[in-house]
Structure 1
Amino acid sequence: MEEIKVPRRRLGANGPTVPVFALGSWNTWDRMTGEEAVAIIDRAVETGAAFFDIAYYNMGPHEEHSRTDILFGEAIRASGHRRDDFMVCGKLWLWNYPELQFREQIHTSLERSGLDRFDTVVVGDYFATPDMKRVVSEVNLLIDEGLIGSWGINNWQLAHTEEALALAYAEGLVPPSFAQLKYSVVRRAMAEGEGYGRLFASGALGLQASDCLEGGILSGRGVPNRKIGADVGTIREQIYAAAPELARIAREFDATPVQLALAFCLENPATANVLFGASRLQQLEENLGALVLAERTKGSIREALPHLWLDRHVSPEGVWPGPKAG
């Protein structure tokens, strides 16, 4: 296999230094055999990409009670790697919060995955605005107890992210260090909007790019046979139509559509980490090739893709519905 070392970037001012790639995402670990999972983990450790995203999907729109986190735990133990050889990002859900408190969620997640701690966690999205002071305070209690190392937010409205940052700074607490946002060649409104852009430019937050392949649609493999992320802005049909164009441009760069899409995210200096759901070793190898592409093209990918930005009508502050362009 090609010698590749995945570079590392800081996940925001108060976050850890992490590989620029994270493996996992939604129910990834139950889309492969145990042997395939161990092979992916081994290759991730070998290349320096051993940053894994897991969650217990048990509430809100994700009330699936899947075993993906349990399967990851089984695979990581079977791989024989020491805890210091890899990093893990967990999840805290807000849909049933505060009835289901953060401490209970974390203890359940750690027990299911067989881990002693999460290096960081993402505090998930919400239907109604949570008590932000309580959220910041209770996340910090988990940090004080050594159960998590840092935290970030997932697709929050900009105003609520700014409130969480202000509360943490005022109280001398650990603020969120990163924002996990939908970001890709077709979805750029929030991640590149003025508000979040200001927070990224200041160093207050790092960007974790998620849904960067739109559930596999941008890979050119057609209609996904699994549940994928929400279609904010109602642009999915346009994304299907754009996939062949992405493939055409990728050929011009002597790359695959997946490599072009990942390299696009890496070109943004705000991007600290790109999250994807490789469920085959071959997919991981293809994705690692995006690093070679990004190094070779030196920032020229964005110039070839402006016409594929499809969510310009979505509010960059994360407020939906926004005014739809005519």
Structure 2
Amino acid sequence: MQYKNLGRSGLKVSQLSFGAWVTFGNQLDVKEAKSLLQCCRDSGVNFFDNAEVYANGRAEEIMGQAIRELGWKRSDIVVSTKIFWGGQGPNDKGLSRKHIVEGTKASLKRLDMDYVDVIYCHRPDISTPIEETVRAMNYVIDKGWAFYWGTSEWSAQQITEAWGIAERLDLVGPIVEQPEYNMLSRHKVESEYLPLYTNYGVGLTTWSPLASGVLTGKYSKGNIPPDSRFALENYKNLASRSLVDDVLKKVNGLKPIADELGVPMAQLAIAWCANNPNVSSVITGATKESQVRLKK
């Protein structure tokens, strides 16, 4: 496993990381999570990603309990979570100072940790001034609840504004952005964000390298394996949007390349993302140990 700096920071993250989205709390319990997380560590993974919204907070509870029971040394791993969707109340979501502070404290309680290494603004909040969000994220860092902060699916303009505010107020700016990035979704990473890498040293922790499994080649028109993500009730709409003729044609076009290289489609797709020099870590998901071993 190779380790890269998270953007221009001194934090080292494994080039491949593990994310709890979909799996923890929906497909896996604590016992299964423990074996999967240990398999990740055995493969050199040190970076584990979560969010307050994943399985309505249950994903954080499972990850925290699993790490505690595994007896890992906290300084050996990098843990991140994301704040935006924390509940149904008017102040339980968004990036107000109130929700950032309360949401962070609630996430730490679920994780049973004193701090996370990285905390993200899970989406932009057009109803909250960016200055309020920047100040609140710096408060979280000053309290020692997180070491770094970042964004997820923000526009280049919004990230630039956040950095302008941080520099004007002598505060810490967002060191990392977490966008979707794969062979089928490239514009933000390869075009829109280009000025951010040189101007602010923003790194990327990208998600969905397999386009929710589409780039594994396991899906075809009308064929959804029963143990796959698209078989879950909550993801049937995503399946109908993803498994269209144009997309499946592109995936089929990649199969000869993978065959020529002698690697599975999934390995080709993940390696392609990791090869981008602006990507600090590719966040992967898995439900089986065999999938983790494939990604070593």
Aligned-CA RMSD value: 2.3
1:71: which partner in 2? 62
> Equivalents in 1 of 2:267, 2:200: separation in Å?
27
Question: Of the candidates 103, 106, 109, which is equivalent to residue 105 of structure 1?
Answer: 103
- Using the size of structure 1 for normalisation, the TM-score is 0.78
> Equivalents in 2 of 1:190, 1:151: separation in Å?
20
Question: Gaps (5+ residues) in structure 1?
Answer: 1-5, 289-326
Q: CA deviation at 1:125?
A: 1.1
1:14: which partner in 2? 9
Q: CA deviation at 1:257?
A: 0.9
1:80: which partner in 2? 71
2:145: which partner in 1? 147
> Equivalents in 2 of 1:180, 1:171: separation in Å?
24
* Structure 1 runs of 4+ with >4 Å offset: 227-231
Listed as ranges, the matches of 1:95-174 within 5 Å are: 95-98=93-96, 100-126=98-124, 128=126, 130-174=128-172
> Equivalents in 1 of 2:131, 2:288: separation in Å?
41
Is 1:51 matched up with 2:47? yes
Q: CA deviation at 1:69?
A: 1.4
CA contact (8 A) 1:45 1:85 kept: no
> Equivalents in 1 of 2:274, 2:61: separation in Å?
30
Question: Gaps (5+ residues) in structure 2?
Answer: 86-92, 225-229
The alignment of Structure 1 onto Structure 2 pairs a total of residues equal to 275
Matched residue SS, 1:214:
coil
Matched residue SS, 2:56:
coil
CA contact (8 A) 1:89 1:120 kept: yes
Matched residue SS, 2:183:
coil
> Equivalents in 2 of 1:85, 1:134: separation in Å?
33
Code of the aligned partner of 2:35: A
2:89: which partner in 1? none
Aligned sequence identity (%): 26
Is 1:38 matched up with 2:30? no
CA contact (8 A) 1:27 1:66 kept: no
> Equivalents in 2 of 1:201, 1:218: separation in Å?
30
Question: Of the candidates 248, 251, 261, which is equivalent to residue 243 of structure 1?
Answer: 251
CA contact (8 A) 2:97 2:132 kept: no
1:281: which partner in 2? 289
TM-aligned CA distance change 1:236 to 1:177, over 3 Å:
farther
Q: CA deviation at 1:252?
A: 1.3
